[in-house]
Structure 1
Amino acid sequence: MRLLDSLALHIDRAAEAPLHRQLYHRLVEEITAGALRPGEKLPSTRDFAGLLEVSRNTVVLAFDHLISEGYLEPVTGSGTYVSWELPEQRPAKASARINPAIEAAGHLSRSMAPDSAITHAPPTLRHMRRPVPFRANFPAVEMFPVRQWASLAASLYRELDPDAAGALLGEGDPQGYEPLRIAIAEHVALSRGLTCTAHNIVIFAGAQHAVDLACRILLTPGERVWCEDPGYDGIYASATAAGAIPVAIPVDEEGIVVERGMALAPDARLAYVSPSKQFPLGMELSLERRHALLQWAGAAGAWVLEDDYDTEFRYAGRPMPALHALDREGRVLYFGTFSKMLFPGLRLGFAVLPDALVEAFVSARAIVGRYSPMLEQALVARFMNDGHLATHVRRMRRLYARRQDYLLQGIERRLSRWMTAAPTNTGMEIIASLSAGLSGQRVAEAAARRGLEILPIAVLAHDVQADHLVTLGFSAFSEDQMDEGLDILRDIFVEMERGETPMAGAG
């Protein structure tokens, strides 16, 4: 603390520049002036935060920037030190209005190179997914209240006075339409127990947009990221595109194995999890694991991305508290989407961010995509505020429960010789286990040739074996559609038994 007292680290709360950027520049000045000497150990981020009366996240962001610039060096288990070899040139002093996304967005020019990682998206992200049996994670769009939506849209247009027209037809707010952010804050508080305000909400073009921008902002090349295995391909792609290193962490019946993550990558900068319903296997992250994950993140100074993609559709029991609701150190970023609650073509998602990250994300959002269409945001806000979202979700929850039961019964009656399936408590799809000798990838390929869409878990697995598992969606399909799909699957299995279609992969 004596060192802190001797430094001239004045923070101006009235300035427009974010606090973490101010602290960054003050520390650069102290280092280049020799007040902080090469090899000198710095006090902890907690001590810094206490002296300056700022959040610890503010200090963490400043330290991370200094480390990425080469001014500081972290030593695992020891602390953070002034680098022995400082950058040759001091960065230009910023103007009063700082755009944190200039650095945070991750050198956007890099993505222009033809061999850049961002040009190699996995096929599961690139293809247009069709609502055919048994497409997973697809809502019943035919049941969406289109007439009600159209009526709200017509009313919105009729009410466009000059002031409203300027707000909805002119330039939009990169953070998102404020009435929608207020409605989302109320929604997640009631449904998931989150404590936040509209200030913490940023609107994105879907959850993957938020995931990708988070990787650009929070990661620097070479840093490691915990990714569930098997797990969401979008996080693997975005982490790689940001120059980071995805580390596949296995999951078991309690979700991501935190102990294994700590063994494989204790110094990871980021962890991506889907705790309410692990994608794609469907288990819920246990309460013990939730606390262990948060404890590790706090100790490691890591961030946690919580993807809560379809928890609204829960059929049995009460959900566990969201990670964000358990977080006491501001380490969790909570992501949600309207693609499942409403319809995928809307392309609207949101993030609930710690206070220390809001400015960086809003600035980065202004660079990457500017803002989401304002009229659609205004429509969703009105849909929510008038109670239509809650009504629609309740209707779909009942419908999806019936459709899941019908699919499970159909598998038991017609396909039990080749696969078994268990019900899911949450979501829009079930996991089926194939009999010995059958390959999920081969079954999926044969099904695609017959007009079906089945997701083999093996395409989402990295270091685990999962070719005996497939995903079958039920939410978007009528009983007649599921009957037809089950008949086609039965024919495929019979053909495989006869040797007319390959049963297993070559290796």
Structure 2
Amino acid sequence: MTLQLLDALAFDLEGGPQEPLYKKLHTRLVTEISSGGIRPGTRLPSTRSLARTLGVSRATVILAFEELVSEGYLQGQPGSGTYVAERLPQRPASVPSGPGVRSVPPSRPDRPRGAGCFSGVPERLYVPRRPVPFRPNFPSLDDFPIELWARLTAGIYRRHARTKNLLLGEGDAQGYLPLRSAIAEHVRLSRGVRCTGDNVIIFAGAQQALDVASRLFLAPGDRAWCEDPGYEGAYAAIIASGAVPVPVPVDDEGISVDEGRRRCENARLAFVCPSKQFPLGMEMTLGRRLQLLEWAANAGAWIIEDDYDNEFRFSGRAIPALHAIDDGERVIYLGTFSKVLFPSLRLGFAIIPDGLVDAFVAARGVVGRYSPLLEQMVVAEFMRDGHFASHLLRMRKLYSERHEAMLDCASRYLSDFIKPLPSETGMQMIATVADEFDPDEVARTAAAEGLEITPVSWFAVENHTPAALMLGFSAFSPATIEYGMKRLRTCFEVQHRHSTRTTCQ
């Protein structure tokens, strides 16, 4: 069973008609098996594992499985597990809605001309996913102070009960000024970024800011450097603008500027993650940063700095943001609240040089008009009253503890299979895989157990990547991390037995 199917099952159980959960699970599984979404012979997760993944009682899964077995969709094999039957029962044909009614196939619309620009967008960018171990880049939502957030929201409603036009009317395309000012002060203190609220523009997440920047800076056919391996959303935004991404390899110092020049000296844009390269995790050295800025100044190019993972540093000392050492005003700084607060907030920001603010604000007015005002007001108050700083401190401590828990569990349960690389910051770590294992196979086996294991190779275009996995820890308690590591060990053992049998044949 794929992670996408597990997610679909979870969403079905949360919504839909009011009927027993086991009936909902039964109905969805029948649909998937009958349509070929789950193929005959497929081994299903154990009832205990599936119940934990879906967040339901084991009894719910057992009842659904028992009904499916009785109907002939599943077969239990003692000591081995539960499998989809090789020969499926015949489903009754659908009954027409009335006499004489015949099915008329709908007309097929022409394919949109721009559809090709989005044909390669990975599902991870648009399919909602639950935080199953070990999904990376996901905050600990259980530890978010939602009661405080509710009080702040209610207080704003009360204060504006007589001035509804402000709260319920239209917003500023650039964003709520008190929030922009709070962001400017925060990045000045934490990242050394010199700006005012006038340089800040609020977006519906950093991805939207990246989309707008790509449209403004790139004409069709222009080239743009992207780290390889690198963030898939950057590649998608550049392709959607009609431009051509140029994969540039990274090394221990960050993006290889020399190689970028060799591949495309006159690129118009470079997208980089200097604070923590995605997905490999290294920090771009000061020398490499200066080299990148020099190239941009000479080439008349722009740099987009995605500072996605800087807030949760729990050891070492961070180098200031690339923007902080940019005297030529060539860097567009992107930040997001999706990871430091919560994803559904959909608020991010860009810090723009003075001469470009008007163009970005005009583009923001076209792309979504403006962000919801209430959420901006709550975040502004959350920051102004010190709650934001307190929340970050709590999360740094929490994530540091979970980072150590993952290292400990990897040492106890997986020392024969992976070698984790400790991280100084962020929400995930990289773990190299022993030579005999294929990270893609491990990921597929883990998905059947309700785990999300992300091979680094998924983010590579041309560059050869190490046999490594990206393992998120921030959203999971130490007990969940231990449970997940034990399940992951089982996945490695399954692949090891399979490779041993193949070798002996």
For the criterion TM > 0.5, the same-fold answer is yes
Q: Aligned-pair distance for 1:283?
A: 0.3
Once residues 203 and 114 of structure 1 are traced to their aligned partners in structure 2, the CA distance between those partners, rounded to angstroms, is 27
Aligned residue number for residue 433 of structure 2:
434
Q: Distance in 1 between matches of 2:499 and 2:286?
A: 48
Aligned to 1:294: 293
Partner of residue 200, structure 2: 201
Whole-angstrom CA distance in 2 between matches of 1:321 and 1:112? 44
User: Which is worse superposed, 437-446 or 493-502?
Assistant: 493-502
Count of residues paired in the alignment: 393
Distance 1:386 1:502, change over 3 A: farther
Distance 1:189 1:483 in 2: 39
2:215 aligned with 1:221, yes or no? no
What's the TM-score, normalizing by structure 2? 0.76
Q: CA deviation at 1:502?
A: 10
- 1:387 equivalent in structure 2: 386
Q: Does the 8 A contact of 2:437 with 2:496 survive in 1? A: no
Deviations 1:103-160 (A, max 9, x none): xxxxxxxx95263303542223122221110000000000000111111111111100
Whether contact under 8 Å (1:203, 1:372) holds in the other structure is yes
Deviation, 1:480, is 1.4
Whole-angstrom CA distance in 2 between matches of 1:499 and 1:188: 51
Shift in CA distance, 503/168, structure 1 to aligned 2, threshold 3 Å: farther
Tell me how far apart the structure 2 counterparts of residues 201 and 308 of structure 1 sit (CA, whole Å). 15
Q: Which residue number in structure 2 is paired with residue 362 of structure 1?
A: 361
Matches within 5 A, 1:25-424: 112-113=112-113, 115-163=115-163, 165-424=164-423
Q: Secondary structure at the match of 1:202?
A: strand
Shift of 1:161: 4.6
Q: Deviations over 1:415-472 (max 9, x none)?
A: 0101101110110000000000211111111111110111111110011222611100
Amino acid paired to 1:312: E
Q: CA deviation at 1:500?
A: 7.6
Deviations 1:379-434 (A, max 9, x none): 00000000000000000000000000010111011101011011101100000000
Alpha-carbon displacement from aligned partner over 1:44-87 (angstroms, at most 9, x marks no partner) = xxxxxxxxxxxxxxxxxxxxxxxxxxxxxxxxxxxxxxxxxxxx
Separation in 2, partners of 1:116, 1:127 = 19
Q: Which amino acid aligns with 1:365?
A: R
Could you say what secondary structure the match of 2:338 adopts? helix
Check whether the contact 2:191–2:320 (CA below 8 A) recurs between aligned residues.
Answer: yes
The one-letter code sitting in structure 2 at the alignment partner of 1:133 is P
User: Helix, strand or coil: the match of 1:186?
Assistant: helix
Once the two structures are TM-superposed, the CA of residue 267 in structure 1 deviates from its matched residue by 0.2
Rounded to whole Å, the distance in 2 between the matches of 1:484 and 1:269 is: 47
Q: Answer whether contact 1:124 1:233 (CA < 8 A) is retained.
A: no
Indicate the SS of the match to 2:280. Answer: coil
* SS in structure 1 of the partner of residue 339 of structure 2: helix
Residue identity matched to 1:140: S
Q: Is the 8 A contact 2:231 2:278 kept in 1?
A: yes
CA shift for structure 1 position 206: 0.5
5+ residue gaps, structure 1, are 1-110
TM-score by length of 1: 0.76
RMSD: 1.6
CA contact (8 A) 2:441 2:495 kept: no
Q: What is the SS of the residue equivalent to 2:157? A: helix
Shift in CA distance, 223/166, structure 1 to aligned 2, threshold 3 Å: same
Q: Give the aligned residue type for 1:172.
A: G
Instruction: Find the counterpart in structure 2 of residue 46 from structure 1.
Output: none
Q: Distance in 1 between matches of 2:123 and 2:430?
A: 21
| CA distances 1:3-32 after superposition (whole Å, capped 9, x unpaired) | xxxxxxxxxxxxxxxxxxxxxxxxxxxxxx
Counterpart residue number, 1:497: 496
Distance in 2 (CA, whole Å) between partners of 1:278 and 1:199 is 29
Cα distance between partner residues in 2 of 1:286 and 1:502 = 46
Indicate the residue corresponding to 1:478 in structure 2: 477
**CA–CA distance in 2 between the matches of 1:269 and 1:321?**
24
Aligned counterparts of 1:120 and 1:265: Cα–Cα separation in 2: 23
Indicate how the Cα distance of structure 1 residues 364 and 397 shifts in structure 2: closer, same or farther if over 3 A, else same. same
CA pair 371-269 structure 1, distance change in 2 beyond 3 A = same
| Shift in CA distance, 493/502, structure 1 to aligned 2, threshold 3 Å | farther
The residue that corresponds to 2:27 in the other structure is: none
User: How many angstroms does 1:501 deviate by?
Assistant: 10
In the alignment, structure 2 segments of 5+ residues that lack a partner are 1-110
**4+ residue stretches of structure 1 with deviation over 6 A?**
500-504
Shift of 1:503: 9.9
Q: Could you tell me how far apart the structure 1 residues matched to 2:265 and 2:152 are?
A: 50
Measured against aligned partners, the alpha-carbon deviations of 1:161-201 in whole angstroms (never above 9, x if no partner) come to 544x2222101111001110010010111111111011100
